Amino acid sequence: MIHILTYFKKLFLLDANGFPTNHVHSSRFHHVSAIIMSMASLLVLLIALVVNWYQHNYEIMPPLIFTTLLVLAGIIWQSRQPYRYLPLCVASAAFLFLGFYLLFYYGELSQLSILCFLLSPPIIMFCLGLRWGTALFIVCYLLLMMFFFAPLCLRASAAHGTSTFFLAILGTFFVSWVAEFVRHRMACALNSAIARLEKDAITDALTGLGNRRDFTDHFHWLQAQSKRSDQPFAIIMADIDHFKFINDEYGHQIGDMMIKHIATLLHDNLRDADRVFRWGGEEFIILLPGANLVDGALIAERLRITVAASIFSYENLKIRCTISLGVYCGLANESLDEQVKKADDRLYRAKNRGRNQTTAY
């Protein structure tokens, strides 16, 4: 039982706690559901093969076998090419092909052809979605009407019950369309909720900058890029000077506003490729792709001068604040903890030297 549950969690991209692992969960779920629907269609065709073989209806066997092979090919193709519409289109149209063939062969509606046409709308809508499913159904429905209104193609007995037949197909399509529309809306809502949760998980609520988790992901990506391109990158640790005094003197609300003010200054005065993150409290950490130690020191010094020249204003309150910075350009094989610790050591060296300084050596 444990192995079965683990398989289904992997199949639907759920983690050990049963939560979606990424934002494509609903797409993967629809993909797997479409495969299951196609496999159910394959099962119906196999049952039809067995029944007709048992009843010695050998003239129907070739189209049944051909349609079964089409559905099977669509399932295999879709399993190897996920999120492609063409394989599912082949599997969905297989039932329509069989229904049209039986109409041409017998010249009238048979039980098997009626079954094929009634099963087609839910299969088409479920496998292809709203846009392509509706388009394919309209095309097939128009072809079916043209076929029925061509007297030379059908026997006279075929006209009996055609109105009920067309109404049944329309009703089946309407129910299938509504079900797919509801599924589509739910999938959009799920994707939106997952995207919002993912963004909240990597965003600092106060400043809007990336948090430690976002920094960790970006650091590993940048380190991999640095190894491939043999380009350095620098890390800057920044800390607001005398922040405890600001909190004690003016209150935590002013302290939070000061953090937001510094975050905006740092973000707006970096290069497009650079990223600043809130490390925690009044500390920030900055990643500089393609920058060596000298480049990092120059950028850090420019940030220090910019912050020192700015004035934080709130109502009648005006505060001039400064920051201290530590710069480190590590080796490509150094771990995150090692590089952050060395940048942090240089930050505290700047603090011990009197603050409002940049230390890179």
Cα radius of gyration rounded to whole Å, the chain: 33
Taking the alpha carbons at both ends of the chain, their separation in whole angstroms is 59
How many CB atoms are closer than 10 A to CB 299? 22
> What's the rounded Cα separation, in Å, for the pair 113 and 107?
11
Active site annotation includes 282 = yes
Describe the chain by its helix, strand, coil percentages, rounded to 5.
70, 10, 20
In the structure encoding, which two tokens stand for residue 144, read together?
Answer: 């079916």
Q: What 3-state class would DSSP assign to 313? A: strand
Catalytic-labelled residue, pool 59, 198, 282, 283: 282
In the structure encoding, which two tokens stand for residue 236, read together?
Answer: 């800057």
CB neighbours of 58 closer than 8 A, spacing ≥ 6?
52
How many CB atoms are closer than 10 A to CB 259? 22
Active-site annotation, residues: 282
